[in-house]
Chain A
Amino acid sequence: MTTPIDLGLPTPGTAGVPTLAEGQQLTGKDFTSDQEVRWCPGCGDYAVLKAVQGFLPQLGLRRENIVFVSGIGCSSRFPYYLDTYGMHSIHGRAPAIATGIATAREDLSVWVVTGDGDALSIGGNHLIHALRRNVNMTILLFNNRIYGLTKGQYSPTSEAGKVTKSTPMGSVDQPLNPVSLALGAEATFVARTIDSDRKHLTSVLSAAAAHRGTALVEIYQNCPIFNDGAFDAIKDRDRKADAIIPLEHGEQIRFGPPGEDGRGSKALVRDEVTGGVRAAFAADVPDEAILVHDAHNPDPSTAFAISRLTDTGYLNQSPIGIFRQVVRPTYDDQVREQAGPRRGLDDLQALIDGGDVWTVEEDR
């Protein structure tokens, strides 16, 4: 289980956002709006909603200073169900809108809710630019590897060969891996978690919220209607030990059924041939060869190599946890720093009077 990492950041993600008065404490209920939740029965979105409602009180922030912005998709209905400020915007554009909000207002905790189609297909451009700018916000990417709202077409994360309504003979698209993409887009915080694992989800959320900059959290989310079982391997009690490669900063990366030392019998080691990483039996390699996860490494190469261990086809194996968490100045903080002292109308008069001005003394 990943625990929130305290980097001792000079300015945590929520610095500048007003907190609750001493002794005041909100509950999940305070974050529940009066709107009826309308996802399909069993949808993974419910679990995430519940986890977020349960988590938000932990931030100790004022409700009115929290904003959720979403795009379009099943998952993007999220803001309606939270009693915070919220905007359900247009397909793919939430990161852009949130950039405006976060840049305009330091006193807001800004969250983006998006789907795999929303973030990676139509909104791919906005996602990568938000990440590289490092705008202070947290992006929750609900990856169900399908277009839910439009009733089941394949998405940019669907495995090649996927048979859907729009690909009756199987898709011929290579899917992309959101974590690899984010790492390539200069992201400062990249994590992956699972809808049904409330504890892990919550711990990742708190690390993401604490991060100053754009935090991308990919959430594997089951769509029981159009892509049921996409994540069965990592949820199934018997299979998940082999399927989940848990990433914990400062810990050896071990997975698989417990070996003799009681820890995962498999481990990640450097692959001398490819320069990447590969799985090996822990017993077959010297202890010091086992990779110790370093989320704070300024160089994202190893994190990227680990991200490549995610299956591109049907998901039988996936690293889960915080891949990367590094400190870099945020876009919005720097923009605000550039803003000088506020000048008024008198100064404005001086501005427009600047340049070559001439005076006509009398009407002529």
Chain B
Amino acid sequence: MTLTPEKPIKQVERVIIRFAGDSGDGMQLTGDRFTQQTAIFGNDLATFPSFPAEIRSPQGTIPGVSSFQVHFASRDILTPGDHPDVLVAMNPAALKANVSDLRAGAVIIADTHEFTARNLTKAGYDHNPLEDDSLADFQVHPVDLTGMTIEAVKDFSLTRKEATRSKNMFALGLVSWLYGRPVEPTIDHLTRKFAGKPNVRDANIAAFKAGVNFGETAEVFAVSYEVKPAPVPKGRYRNITGNLALSYGIVAAGRLADLPVFLGAYPITPASDILHELSKHKDFGVTTFQAEDEIAAIGAALGASYAGHLGITSTSGPGMSLKSEAVGLAVMLELPLVVVDVQRGGPSTGLPTKTEQADLLQAMFGRNGEAPLPVIAPQSPADCFDAALEAVRIAVTFRTPVVLLSDGYLANGSEPWRLPDVTSLPRIEPGFATGPNHKLDDGDEDFLPYLRDAETLARPWAPPGKAGLEHRIGGLEKSDGTGNISYDPANHEHMVRVRQAKVDRVAETVPDLQVDDPSGRARLLVIGWGSTYGPIGAGVRRVRQRGFDVAQVHLRHLNPFPRNLGEILARYDKVVVPEMNLGQLALLLRAKYLIDAESRTNVRGTPFGAEEMEGILLAALTDLGIADASDNPIDARVAEEALR
């Protein structure tokens, strides 16, 4: 079925939609389906799911609101967007929790069925906002989504409760019509998903179609909109979340290195998806071990690495804290290991479902003694795939634990991913020790487990099973070469420096950073790492649209830094560092390069908005005397509107 709307179609460049409802209303699924349709249609997109920390907060309350935001456009976009153009509110709490984010003139579709006195009270409304003028700034469409859904599915002999469950599909259908989305993928999806439950399948499809038809026929919706496909390089695409991309990256790295993968993990939000996903891929040589705690998880992964497998452990902040002693052991043992930290709000249990970048210094320094290790970060959901490959490359090549710092925003957010041709990806060489590596004075040969590769300073990887290479390793300081226990002061000094030098050598294998400075005239450099890539890019774009020059550079490698970073930083009059912490990268840059890097931070648990970033950059330009105060977005809504 294709949509042949009779109503006028208005072209728009980009749209932000937020689906919001109770955590039981299926908003994540709705958002996900809308995203798939949009991806298939060819728009560029970015998504931002947001859910309560509790599995089920009290129904109808504000803490129980779950939402899914999708931003799509006919050009490339970088963030899930700041101010929705459309809010689908399944109940009063969803309206109340989200209305303040909307742009002026935004469309609100509210399920009137749920705007009962009880629900209004639960959400903290004295009056029904649909009936007073509190929403005068918006185009409000009160629709009885529930009632119409029940009507649409009445033939499928469902209980009333079951019937109402399809209301999210009705809403999806309505919004799909509004933005001219292809509907077949959703119908196919529902057909597949509920293959075993024909009446649920039929009810969902019926509700979905009813939503589409309602849009087409209802007079309140006078126009529909069209967002043309975005320009993209040719190729095969799919939409992917960060956690899924990261998991695929690990599976791929195992195959590219021809190593079995061993994941040790203990469930924790927002990293559990990685455990779940990898558990499905035993036939790719992936073993997953749900350990008794994070210490056992990393311990077992390290044991597997010792045994010649690719050891991986995945967790979030609290688990990172528990792992630190074992990470130190891995540093000492000089075995490959990837430690994935999907960061969330901290400290302690913090904000489990919210994002933050505050584990950077923990990753860098959170161990006793001098225990350097490489740290890298993905910059977008799809980039998690490449970042995982890079983490494994470094870990295997340099026989070292590597911390891979994702975060909650990347983990659950999604974007279109241009599928790589995996067979053409570079292979990773485990280069196991095959025999003796050292000649004795008497001409005999022996094996020295800490004899280093001249180039990488990596030691041999000699898993058990090879005769003649029997050796003992451990956490006590060891002599370089033999690996025997040594308390010799000079040897310790040497080993501490060698371990550092080895990590520093990683930079030799990392390409130079490319600065994005199209005019070459910028005096302001904005530098970030990890998931701020999107918001920084969006902010930069806005500032450039205003006619200002600004340079952007983004770090994948946080330890060691790329070789040309110091030189880049020195080129600019001003360097600002936006981060979702209190200035951790800025601290490192200041310490390492003695520059006045200025920190700009947010720790709300949500990513920077594009306009927030624009404000940061304009303020920095004002400091430089380039912009003046009137350039600053005084009224965010106005600025947003001006840039539409």
Contact = CB atoms under 8 A, between A and B. Distances in A.
Q: Are chains A and B touching directly in their complex (CB below 8 angstroms)?
A: yes
Interface of A: 33, 35, 62-67, 69, 72, 79-80, 82-90, 93, 96-101, 103-105, 107-108, 125-126, 129, 335, 338-349, 351-353, 355-364
Nearest to A34: B484
A339 B329 CA distance: 29
B301 A359 contact: no
Instruction: Rank and list the top 3 A-B pairs by shortest CB-CB distance, nearest first.
Output: A100-B303, A88-B474, A96-B299
Given A101-B307, A360-B235, A63 B300 contact: no
B333 interface: yes
B77 interface: no
B541 interface: no
A125 B297 CA distance: 12
A93 B299 contact: yes
Given A126-B295, A342-B284, 8 more contacts: A88-B473, A93-B299, A99-B299, A100-B301, A344-B255, A358-B42, A360-B237, A364-B234
Contacts of B475: 72, 88-90
B161 interface: no
A357 B419 contact: yes
B439 interface: no
Interface string B247-258: 010011001100
A71 to B, nearest CB: 10
Interface residues of B, number: 75
Given A65-B464, A96-B291, A80 B474 contact: yes
B426 interface: no
B4 to A, nearest CB: 22
Contacts of B318: none
Contact of A64 (B305, B307, B419, B465): B465
Contact of B296 (A126, A338, A355): A126
15 contacts: A63-B470, A64-B466, A80-B472, A85-B472, A87-B474, A88-B474, A89-B475, A97-B303, A100-B262, A100-B300, A105-B464, A340-B283, A343-B284, A344-B255, A356-B39
Interface of B: 36, 39-40, 42, 185, 189, 229, 231-239, 248, 251-252, 255-256, 260, 262, 264, 281-285, 287, 289, 291-293, 295-297, 299-309, 311, 325-326, 328-329, 333, 419-423, 463-476, 484-485
A351 B244 CA distance: 12
A342 B333 CA distance: 29
A346 B423 contact: yes
Given A90-B326, A356-B238, A98 B284 contact: no
Contacts of B281: 351
Contacts of B328: 90
A33 B292 CA distance: 34
Contact of B248 (A96, A352, A357): A352
A134 B469 CA distance: 29
Given A65-B465, A79-B472, A345-B423, A357 B255 contact: no
A90 B287 contact: no
A108 B465 contact: yes
B329 A64 contact: no
A88 B283 CA distance: 32
Contacts of B185: 356
A360 B308 CA distance: 41
Nearest to B313: A100
The residue among B234, B300, B302 with the most chain A CB atoms within 10 A of its own CB is B300
Contacts of A100: 262, 264, 289, 299-307, 311
A363 B234 contact: yes
Nearest to A107: B465
A220 B306 CA distance: 30
A358 B287 contact: no
A357 B237 contact: yes
A64 B463 CA distance: 9
